[in-house]
Amino acid sequence: YAIAEECGRRGASVTLVSGPTVLPDPFGVTTVRVETALEMEAAVASAYEACDVAVATAAVADFRPQTVSAGKIKKDDAAAQLVLVRNPDILAGLGQRKGTRILVGFAAETGDPIGAARAKLDAKNLDLVVANDVSVPGQGFGADVNAVWFVDSQGEREIELTSKRQIARAVTDEVVRMLGERHTGNREA
């Protein structure tokens, strides 16, 4: 939400595809509300066509139940086990049809956030991964502050504990820098 707001504030035309949250729609941004990973995949696919930059911040569930009941499941009828199937990796799909777009992913990790981020950078064909260590209490999920590393093909840069608004500004600065580089590169080519 902070990134969508910041990009909108700087004059970008922004579509925010959001799963369920109590956060209100940001001002100046088109917000599309979805509930499932499959709905998110479809909403993202239609917004992706016309976009120059995609930033994937959602913590999408990796699995979904194979069957969904329309009504209440009575305890006597309930299966003892839920069968789960894989959800699509939405960002990896975007990476496969990236064209000239800039793609930014997030990595919520425990252990080695920078190593995991670098692996995602390659595997999903990204330009930047914002990595954070979700094992540290009081930051990241459910908090207004975070500490992150920016990981790209050039190296990594630490952003120490700060507000998500400041992190959103730093992410947007990076995106603007990359757009500028691409623009200059295109002109030279």
Binding residues vs ligand C5P (CB under 6 A): 37, 56-58, 60, 62, 87, 89-91, 105-107, 120
Choice between 78 and 124, CB closer to ligand C5P: 124
Residues 121 and 103: their CA atoms lie apart, in Å, by 10
Return the closest-CA partner of residue 38 out of 15, 66, 14: 66
Choice between 8 and 88, CB closer to ligand C5P: 88
Residue 181 CB, nearest distance to ligand C5P (Å)? 22
Helices (H), the chain: 2-9, 37-48, 90-96, 113-123, 164-188
Choice between 34 and 58, CB closer to ligand C5P: 58
Residue 60 CB, nearest distance to ligand C5P (Å)? 4
Residue 135 CB, nearest distance to ligand C5P (Å)? 14
Choice between 77 and 164, CB closer to ligand C5P: 164
Residue 125 CB, nearest distance to ligand C5P (Å)? 12
- Radius of gyration of the chain measured on its C-alpha atoms: 18
Return the closest-CA partner of residue 146 out of 107, 103, 91: 107
Is residue 113 within 8 A of residue 107, CB to CB? The reply is yes
Choice between 12 and 128, CB closer to ligand C5P: 128
Dihedral sign, CA of 47, 100, 150, 157?
negative
- Can you name the residues that pair with 132 across neighbouring β-strands? 108
- What is the three-class DSSP state of 163? strand
Residue 166 CB, nearest distance to ligand C5P (Å)? 20
